[in-house]
Chains A and B, each alone.
Chain A
Amino acid sequence: MATIQTQDPQIDVRHQDAMCTNESQLKHPWWHNLKYTLVGIIFGITFVKAEIISWYRIQEMFQLTSFHMYGVIGTAVVVGAISVFFIKKTRAKTIYGEPITLDDKKFNKGQIFGGLIFGLGWAITGACPGPLYAQIGAGFGVVFVTLLSAILGTWVYGYFREKLPH
Protein backbone atom coordinates (compact mmCIF):
# COMPACT_ATOMS: atom_id res chain seq x y z
CA MET A 1 0.00 0.00 0.00
CA ALA A 2 1.49 3.25 -1.08
CA THR A 3 1.56 6.11 1.31
CA ILE A 4 1.94 9.42 -0.36
CA GLN A 5 4.99 11.31 0.73
CA THR A 6 4.72 14.79 -0.49
CA GLN A 7 6.50 18.03 0.15
CA ASP A 8 3.81 20.11 -1.44
CA PRO A 9 1.90 21.88 1.36
CA GLN A 10 -1.07 22.38 -0.94
CA ILE A 11 -1.55 18.64 -1.23
CA ASP A 12 -0.96 18.16 2.48
CA VAL A 13 -3.79 20.53 3.36
CA ARG A 14 -6.17 18.72 1.05
CA HIS A 15 -4.97 15.46 2.49
CA GLN A 16 -6.23 16.26 5.99
CA ASP A 17 -9.27 14.11 6.68
CA ALA A 18 -10.13 14.01 3.05
CA MET A 19 -11.35 10.97 1.25
CA CYS A 20 -9.74 11.79 -2.02
CA THR A 21 -6.43 13.49 -2.54
CA ASN A 22 -4.76 11.84 -5.41
CA GLU A 23 -2.84 13.92 -7.82
CA SER A 24 -3.27 12.95 -11.41
CA GLN A 25 -0.45 14.09 -13.62
CA LEU A 26 -2.84 14.18 -16.52
CA LYS A 27 -4.67 17.29 -17.57
CA HIS A 28 -8.13 16.77 -18.90
CA PRO A 29 -10.65 19.16 -20.36
CA TRP A 30 -13.44 19.89 -17.86
CA TRP A 31 -16.02 17.69 -19.58
CA HIS A 32 -14.03 14.60 -18.63
CA ASN A 33 -15.55 15.12 -15.20
CA LEU A 34 -18.98 14.38 -16.64
CA LYS A 35 -18.24 10.68 -16.29
CA TYR A 36 -18.40 11.21 -12.54
CA THR A 37 -21.75 12.94 -12.99
CA LEU A 38 -22.99 9.83 -14.79
CA VAL A 39 -21.86 7.61 -11.91
CA GLY A 40 -23.55 10.06 -9.53
CA ILE A 41 -26.81 9.87 -11.50
CA ILE A 42 -26.94 6.07 -11.22
CA PHE A 43 -26.05 6.39 -7.55
CA GLY A 44 -28.75 9.02 -6.95
CA ILE A 45 -31.43 6.96 -8.72
CA THR A 46 -30.48 3.98 -6.54
CA PHE A 47 -30.72 6.12 -3.41
CA VAL A 48 -34.28 7.12 -4.26
CA LYS A 49 -35.50 3.78 -5.61
CA ALA A 50 -34.12 1.73 -2.71
CA GLU A 51 -35.66 4.37 -0.40
CA ILE A 52 -32.30 5.06 1.25
CA ILE A 53 -33.24 8.75 1.22
CA SER A 54 -36.33 7.97 3.29
CA TRP A 55 -36.52 9.39 6.81
CA TYR A 56 -38.67 6.37 7.72
CA ARG A 57 -36.00 3.88 6.63
CA ILE A 58 -33.43 5.63 8.83
CA GLN A 59 -35.81 5.51 11.81
CA GLU A 60 -36.37 1.79 11.15
CA MET A 61 -32.65 1.22 11.07
CA PHE A 62 -32.10 2.93 14.43
CA GLN A 63 -35.17 1.30 15.96
CA LEU A 64 -33.99 -2.10 14.70
CA THR A 65 -37.34 -2.81 13.08
CA SER A 66 -36.14 -3.45 9.54
CA PHE A 67 -33.17 -5.16 7.96
CA HIS A 68 -33.32 -2.98 4.85
CA MET A 69 -30.56 -0.43 5.58
CA TYR A 70 -28.30 -3.05 7.13
CA GLY A 71 -28.77 -5.11 3.98
CA VAL A 72 -27.88 -2.14 1.76
CA ILE A 73 -24.77 -1.11 3.68
CA GLY A 74 -23.65 -4.69 4.36
CA THR A 75 -23.96 -5.72 0.71
CA ALA A 76 -22.21 -2.53 -0.42
CA VAL A 77 -19.27 -3.17 1.92
CA VAL A 78 -18.91 -6.81 0.79
CA VAL A 79 -19.06 -5.85 -2.91
CA GLY A 80 -16.70 -2.91 -2.30
CA ALA A 81 -14.23 -5.03 -0.32
CA ILE A 82 -14.10 -7.78 -2.95
CA SER A 83 -13.58 -5.13 -5.64
CA VAL A 84 -10.78 -3.41 -3.71
CA PHE A 85 -9.16 -6.79 -3.04
CA PHE A 86 -9.01 -7.58 -6.76
CA ILE A 87 -7.88 -4.08 -7.69
CA LYS A 88 -4.95 -4.44 -5.29
CA LYS A 89 -4.18 -8.01 -6.31
CA THR A 90 -4.16 -7.29 -10.02
CA ARG A 91 -2.55 -3.86 -9.56
CA ALA A 92 -5.31 -2.56 -11.78
CA LYS A 93 -4.80 0.80 -13.46
CA THR A 94 -7.24 3.56 -14.27
CA ILE A 95 -8.69 3.93 -17.77
CA TYR A 96 -5.89 6.45 -18.36
CA GLY A 97 -3.25 3.91 -17.38
CA GLU A 98 -2.36 5.56 -14.07
CA PRO A 99 -1.83 3.36 -11.00
CA ILE A 100 -4.66 3.13 -8.48
CA THR A 101 -3.47 4.14 -5.02
CA LEU A 102 -5.22 3.41 -1.74
CA ASP A 103 -4.02 5.18 1.38
CA ASP A 104 -4.34 3.95 4.93
CA LYS A 105 -6.32 6.15 7.25
CA LYS A 106 -4.79 7.24 10.53
CA PHE A 107 -6.75 6.92 13.71
CA ASN A 108 -7.60 10.09 15.61
CA LYS A 109 -10.16 10.90 18.28
CA GLY A 110 -12.13 12.91 15.76
CA GLN A 111 -13.43 9.67 14.32
CA ILE A 112 -15.14 9.01 17.66
CA PHE A 113 -16.27 12.53 18.61
CA GLY A 114 -17.11 13.55 15.07
CA GLY A 115 -18.69 10.19 14.38
CA LEU A 116 -21.00 10.48 17.38
CA ILE A 117 -22.00 14.04 16.43
CA PHE A 118 -22.64 12.91 12.87
CA GLY A 119 -24.84 10.07 14.14
CA LEU A 120 -26.94 12.47 16.22
CA GLY A 121 -27.63 14.54 13.13
CA TRP A 122 -28.16 11.53 10.89
CA ALA A 123 -31.13 10.26 12.90
CA ILE A 124 -32.72 13.72 13.12
CA THR A 125 -32.42 14.69 9.46
CA GLY A 126 -32.87 11.11 8.30
CA ALA A 127 -30.11 11.70 5.82
CA CYS A 128 -26.37 11.54 5.54
CA PRO A 129 -24.73 13.83 2.97
CA GLY A 130 -25.43 11.65 -0.09
CA PRO A 131 -29.18 11.43 0.47
CA LEU A 132 -29.29 15.19 1.14
CA TYR A 133 -28.36 15.84 -2.50
CA ALA A 134 -30.74 13.12 -3.73
CA GLN A 135 -33.63 14.45 -1.60
CA ILE A 136 -33.20 17.93 -3.06
CA GLY A 137 -33.19 16.46 -6.56
CA ALA A 138 -36.27 14.41 -5.72
CA GLY A 139 -38.17 17.63 -5.06
CA PHE A 140 -37.91 18.01 -1.28
CA GLY A 141 -36.85 21.62 -1.58
CA VAL A 142 -36.68 22.36 2.15
CA VAL A 143 -33.76 19.95 2.43
CA PHE A 144 -31.70 22.63 0.70
CA VAL A 145 -31.74 24.38 4.08
CA THR A 146 -30.37 21.22 5.70
CA LEU A 147 -27.59 21.05 3.10
CA LEU A 148 -26.69 24.72 3.63
CA SER A 149 -26.56 24.11 7.36
CA ALA A 150 -24.36 21.05 6.82
CA ILE A 151 -22.01 23.18 4.74
CA LEU A 152 -22.02 25.74 7.55
CA GLY A 153 -21.20 22.93 9.99
CA THR A 154 -18.28 21.94 7.77
CA TRP A 155 -17.07 25.54 7.75
CA VAL A 156 -17.38 25.94 11.52
CA TYR A 157 -15.40 22.73 11.97
CA GLY A 158 -12.66 24.16 9.77
CA TYR A 159 -12.70 27.37 11.81
CA PHE A 160 -12.33 25.61 15.17
CA ARG A 161 -10.28 22.69 13.90
CA GLU A 162 -7.07 23.58 15.77
CA LYS A 163 -8.92 23.90 19.08
CA LEU A 164 -10.74 20.58 18.88
CA PRO A 165 -9.29 17.36 20.32
CA HIS A 166 -8.04 15.04 17.59
Chain B
Amino acid sequence: MLELLKQPWHWAVAGIIIGLTVPTLLILGNKKFGISSSMRHICAACMPANIPFFKYDWKKEVWNLFFVAGVLIGGFIASTFLSNPEPIQVAQATKERLIEWGIQDFQSLLPTEIFSINSLLTLKGFIFFVVGGFLVGFGARYGGGCTSGHAIMGLSNLQLPSLVATISFMLGGFFSANVILPLLFKLF
Protein backbone atom coordinates (compact mmCIF):
# COMPACT_ATOMS: atom_id res chain seq x y z
CA MET B 1 0.00 0.00 0.00
CA LEU B 2 2.75 2.41 1.01
CA GLU B 3 4.66 1.54 -2.15
CA LEU B 4 1.58 2.40 -4.20
CA LEU B 5 1.19 5.74 -2.41
CA LYS B 6 4.83 6.59 -3.05
CA GLN B 7 4.46 6.33 -6.81
CA PRO B 8 3.28 9.44 -8.64
CA TRP B 9 -0.50 9.60 -8.46
CA HIS B 10 -2.64 9.40 -11.57
CA TRP B 11 -4.28 12.65 -12.69
CA ALA B 12 -7.76 11.18 -12.21
CA VAL B 13 -7.03 10.37 -8.55
CA ALA B 14 -5.77 13.90 -7.95
CA GLY B 15 -8.67 15.41 -9.88
CA ILE B 16 -11.23 13.51 -7.82
CA ILE B 17 -9.61 14.48 -4.50
CA ILE B 18 -9.29 18.13 -5.51
CA GLY B 19 -12.85 18.14 -6.89
CA LEU B 20 -14.17 16.67 -3.64
CA THR B 21 -12.51 19.50 -1.71
CA VAL B 22 -15.30 21.76 -3.05
CA PRO B 23 -18.25 19.94 -1.42
CA THR B 24 -16.17 19.03 1.66
CA LEU B 25 -15.52 22.68 2.51
CA LEU B 26 -19.13 23.61 1.76
CA ILE B 27 -20.48 20.88 4.03
CA LEU B 28 -17.95 21.47 6.80
CA GLY B 29 -18.88 25.11 7.16
CA ASN B 30 -20.25 26.74 3.99
CA LYS B 31 -16.71 27.66 2.95
CA LYS B 32 -15.84 28.41 -0.66
CA PHE B 33 -12.69 26.76 -1.90
CA GLY B 34 -10.06 29.39 -2.67
CA ILE B 35 -6.43 29.78 -1.81
CA SER B 36 -5.23 33.19 -2.97
CA SER B 37 -7.64 34.86 -0.52
CA SER B 38 -5.29 33.67 2.22
CA MET B 39 -2.72 36.21 1.01
CA ARG B 40 -5.28 38.99 1.28
CA HIS B 41 -6.04 37.93 4.85
CA ILE B 42 -2.32 37.95 5.63
CA CYS B 43 -2.13 41.54 4.30
CA ALA B 44 -5.19 42.49 6.35
CA ALA B 45 -3.68 40.90 9.45
CA CYS B 46 -0.12 42.15 9.11
CA MET B 47 -0.15 45.38 7.13
CA PRO B 48 -3.62 46.83 6.47
CA ALA B 49 -2.03 50.32 6.27
CA ASN B 50 -5.45 51.96 6.24
CA ILE B 51 -6.13 50.61 2.75
CA PRO B 52 -9.91 50.06 2.42
CA PHE B 53 -9.36 46.74 0.63
CA PHE B 54 -7.65 45.36 3.73
CA LYS B 55 -9.86 46.95 6.36
CA TYR B 56 -12.02 44.07 7.42
CA ASP B 57 -12.15 41.61 10.25
CA TRP B 58 -9.76 39.00 8.84
CA LYS B 59 -10.34 36.82 11.89
CA LYS B 60 -13.71 35.89 10.41
CA GLU B 61 -11.84 34.32 7.50
CA VAL B 62 -9.26 32.60 9.64
CA TRP B 63 -10.44 29.17 8.46
CA ASN B 64 -8.67 29.95 5.18
CA LEU B 65 -5.33 30.37 6.96
CA PHE B 66 -5.87 27.08 8.81
CA PHE B 67 -6.55 25.50 5.43
CA VAL B 68 -3.37 26.77 3.73
CA ALA B 69 -1.35 25.80 6.80
CA GLY B 70 -2.69 22.30 6.16
CA VAL B 71 -1.54 22.48 2.52
CA LEU B 72 1.95 23.33 3.76
CA ILE B 73 1.92 20.47 6.30
CA GLY B 74 0.59 18.12 3.59
CA GLY B 75 3.55 19.09 1.39
CA PHE B 76 5.88 18.21 4.25
CA ILE B 77 4.19 14.84 4.93
CA ALA B 78 4.20 13.83 1.27
CA SER B 79 7.85 14.75 0.71
CA THR B 80 9.02 13.21 3.98
CA PHE B 81 7.06 9.97 4.17
CA LEU B 82 5.72 9.36 0.67
CA SER B 83 8.59 10.59 -1.44
CA ASN B 84 9.09 8.96 -4.83
CA PRO B 85 12.72 7.72 -5.11
CA GLU B 86 12.63 7.71 -8.93
CA PRO B 87 13.56 10.81 -10.95
CA ILE B 88 10.62 12.76 -12.34
CA GLN B 89 9.32 11.76 -15.77
CA VAL B 90 9.15 14.75 -18.07
CA ALA B 91 7.55 14.62 -21.53
CA GLN B 92 10.33 14.13 -24.10
CA ALA B 93 9.52 17.22 -26.18
CA THR B 94 9.49 19.47 -23.13
CA LYS B 95 12.62 17.85 -21.74
CA GLU B 96 14.51 18.53 -24.97
CA ARG B 97 13.34 22.13 -24.97
CA LEU B 98 14.36 22.65 -21.34
CA ILE B 99 17.78 21.12 -22.01
CA GLU B 100 18.12 23.63 -24.86
CA TRP B 101 17.33 26.34 -22.32
CA GLY B 102 20.14 25.07 -20.13
CA ILE B 103 18.29 22.95 -17.60
CA GLN B 104 20.14 19.76 -16.78
CA ASP B 105 18.54 18.64 -13.55
CA PHE B 106 15.56 16.31 -13.94
CA GLN B 107 15.66 14.58 -10.57
CA SER B 108 13.20 16.24 -8.28
CA LEU B 109 9.93 18.15 -8.72
CA LEU B 110 11.67 21.46 -9.36
CA PRO B 111 14.91 22.15 -11.28
CA THR B 112 17.75 23.00 -8.90
CA GLU B 113 19.24 25.35 -11.53
CA ILE B 114 16.48 27.77 -10.62
CA PHE B 115 15.06 26.78 -7.26
CA SER B 116 18.15 26.74 -5.10
CA ILE B 117 19.33 29.09 -2.42
CA ASN B 118 22.35 29.99 -4.60
CA SER B 119 20.22 31.66 -7.25
CA LEU B 120 18.32 33.69 -4.67
CA LEU B 121 20.52 36.76 -4.89
CA THR B 122 21.08 36.62 -8.65
CA LEU B 123 19.09 38.37 -11.37
CA LYS B 124 17.68 34.98 -12.35
CA GLY B 125 16.45 34.41 -8.83
CA PHE B 126 14.99 37.89 -8.71
CA ILE B 127 12.94 37.23 -11.84
CA PHE B 128 11.84 33.68 -10.98
CA PHE B 129 11.01 34.33 -7.33
CA VAL B 130 10.35 38.00 -6.81
CA VAL B 131 8.90 39.10 -10.16
CA GLY B 132 7.11 35.79 -10.76
CA GLY B 133 5.64 35.73 -7.27
CA PHE B 134 4.57 39.36 -7.51
CA LEU B 135 2.71 38.69 -10.78
CA VAL B 136 0.96 35.68 -9.23
CA GLY B 137 -0.18 37.62 -6.16
CA PHE B 138 -1.10 40.84 -7.95
CA GLY B 139 -2.84 39.02 -10.81
CA ALA B 140 -4.78 36.65 -8.58
CA ARG B 141 -6.23 39.49 -6.53
CA TYR B 142 -6.89 41.71 -9.57
CA GLY B 143 -8.62 38.75 -11.21
CA GLY B 144 -10.58 37.99 -8.05
CA GLY B 145 -9.13 34.55 -7.49
CA CYS B 146 -6.61 31.98 -8.60
CA THR B 147 -6.78 28.54 -10.11
CA SER B 148 -8.62 27.15 -7.10
CA GLY B 149 -11.17 29.93 -6.66
CA HIS B 150 -11.93 30.46 -10.34
CA ALA B 151 -10.90 27.35 -12.30
CA ILE B 152 -12.10 24.81 -9.71
CA MET B 153 -14.68 26.49 -7.43
CA GLY B 154 -16.01 29.01 -9.94
CA LEU B 155 -16.30 26.58 -12.84
CA SER B 156 -17.89 23.97 -10.53
CA ASN B 157 -20.55 26.58 -9.79
CA LEU B 158 -20.87 27.31 -13.54
CA GLN B 159 -19.82 30.94 -13.20
CA LEU B 160 -19.14 32.67 -16.51
CA PRO B 161 -16.73 35.25 -14.97
CA SER B 162 -14.67 32.33 -13.69
CA LEU B 163 -14.49 30.89 -17.20
CA VAL B 164 -13.26 34.27 -18.47
CA ALA B 165 -10.65 34.33 -15.70
CA THR B 166 -9.56 30.74 -16.38
CA ILE B 167 -9.14 31.42 -20.10
CA SER B 168 -7.11 34.53 -19.21
CA PHE B 169 -4.88 32.50 -16.86
CA MET B 170 -4.21 30.03 -19.64
CA LEU B 171 -3.54 32.70 -22.29
CA GLY B 172 -1.12 34.50 -19.97
CA GLY B 173 0.55 31.19 -19.19
CA PHE B 174 0.90 30.14 -22.83
CA PHE B 175 2.47 33.49 -23.70
CA SER B 176 4.79 33.42 -20.72
CA ALA B 177 5.92 29.82 -21.16
CA ASN B 178 6.49 30.02 -24.91
CA VAL B 179 7.62 33.61 -25.45
CA ILE B 180 8.92 35.11 -22.20
CA LEU B 181 10.63 32.06 -20.68
CA PRO B 182 12.79 31.29 -23.75
CA LEU B 183 13.95 34.92 -23.70
CA LEU B 184 14.67 34.75 -19.97
CA PHE B 185 16.77 31.63 -20.38
CA LYS B 186 18.75 33.34 -23.15
CA LEU B 187 19.66 36.02 -20.62
CA PHE B 188 21.18 33.58 -18.16
Measured CB to CB, the residues of A under 8 A from B are 10-11, 13-14, 16-24, 30, 33-56, 58-63, 65-69, 71-81, 83-84, 86-87, 92, 94-96, 98-102, 104-108, 110-130, 132-143, 145-159, 161, 164
Contacts and interface: CB of A to CB of B under 8 A. Distances in A.
Contacts, number: 559
A140 B129 CA distance: 12
Given A116-B171, A130-B147, A135-B110, A22 B140 contact: no
Contacts of A155: 43, 47, 49, 51, 54
A49 B172 contact: no
B181 A145 contact: no
Contacts of A63: 91, 93-94, 97, 177-178
Interface of B: 5, 8-40, 42-43, 47, 49, 51-57, 60-64, 66-79, 82, 84, 88, 90-94, 97-98, 106, 109-111, 114-117, 119-120, 125, 127-162, 164-178, 180-181, 184
A147 B115 CA distance: 13
A129 B74 CA distance: 15
Contact of A145 (B13, B15, B70, B130): B130
Given A72-B18, A142-B129, A158-B54, A153 B28 contact: no
Given A49-B82, A67-B11, A105 B159 contact: yes
Contacts of A61: 173
23 contacts: A46-B74, A56-B88, A59-B94, A59-B177, A60-B94, A65-B94, A75-B12, A79-B22, A84-B22, A84-B156, A104-B159, A114-B168, A123-B173, A124-B131, A126-B110, A129-B36, A137-B72, A142-B119, A145-B129, A150-B140, A153-B134, A153-B137, A154-B140
B176 A142 contact: no
B88 to A, nearest CB: 6
A19 B115 contact: no
Contact of A149 (B77, B129, B155, B166): B129
A10 to B, nearest CB: 6
B173 to A, nearest CB: 4
Nearest to B97: A63
Contact of B43 (A24, A38, A128, A151): A151
A116 B137 contact: no
A135 B111 CA distance: 13
Contact of B30 (A10, A22, A120, A129): A22
Nearest first, the 10 closest Cβ-Cβ pairs linking A and B are: A119-B172, A40-B70, A44-B74, A75-B15, A79-B19, A115-B168, A137-B75, A19-B34, A114-B142, A121-B135
A118 B136 contact: yes
